[in-house]
Structure 1
Amino acid sequence: MEEKVKATVDRIEEGLAVVYSDVDERVYYVPVEGTPGLREGVKVTLTLIDGAVSGVEVMEGETIAAKERLARLMQKLLKRFKEQEKPEDQEEEDGTAD
């Protein structure tokens, strides 16, 4: 039985890519040799036949989009952190801090 699974490359170890399923967190080991573009953080679609990896398709567009979403999220978090820091800094200057 053939199945398609979306996954993310977590790391490369000894010529194998350690790949985590985006759906159910299953782990797959994929040979790096013969699969151009396979590197840490890349989104892939695995083709499984009877549970074994038979094909890998690198999803470069999804990888770039995921990196852009992560960058936007980090910018929002930094902005919130800086906004929360401002009132505390003012209290210290006014001498009203504990």
Structure 2
Amino acid sequence: MSASRDEAVNLKQSIAIQRRQQLLGEQTRALYQDQYLQLGTRPLLDLLNVDQEIYQAQFNQVLTEAQLRNLELDCLFSTGKMRAVFALDNQRIQGVEIRP
């Protein structure tokens, strides 16, 4: 469990970093748009590249969040707490009674 806890901490830190990258990318995009549209000093390719970086940060964040959720589910399963967390004890699911 200690290794899982450490991994969860690392994943949460990664998510925070990815959010920060996305925010910085959005700020950069706004600056590049102004430079491109108003001043004409920024190439269109720079604007497209920063958009790609923003979407890549979003994609990475979604993947990392999915890894964190999978880790949480694995921990619940390993500790035998999945039924309690999802309130499945003494429930009927498709005609099958779930017992503790």
Normalising by structure 1, report the TM-score.
0.40
In the superposition, the TM-score normalised over structure 2's length comes to: 0.39
- Flag the structure with more relative contact order, 1 or 2, with Cα contacts below 8 A and sequence separation at least 6: 2
Larger fraction in strand: 1
